[in-house]
Amino acid sequence: MSIHMEYYLIVSAIMFFAGIYGFFTRRNT
């Protein structure tokens, strides 16, 4: 597996969790 593929998966996962975290924090306030 290439490094670019792993990097893309890690970045997309971080953005995904960051979006869910921001959604919940924004909804709770």
In the prediction, which pLDDT does 7 show?
94
In the prediction, which pLDDT does 18 show?
97
* pLDDT, tens digit, 9 for 90 and up, residues 1-29: 678 899 999 999 999 999 999 999 998 77
Q: Which of 8, 12, 7 is nearest to 20 (CA)?
A: 12
In the prediction, which pLDDT does 2 show?
77
2: which DSSP letter? -
In the prediction, which pLDDT does 1 show?
61
Q: How many CB atoms lie within 10 A of CB 21?
A: 10
pTM assigned to the model: 0.58
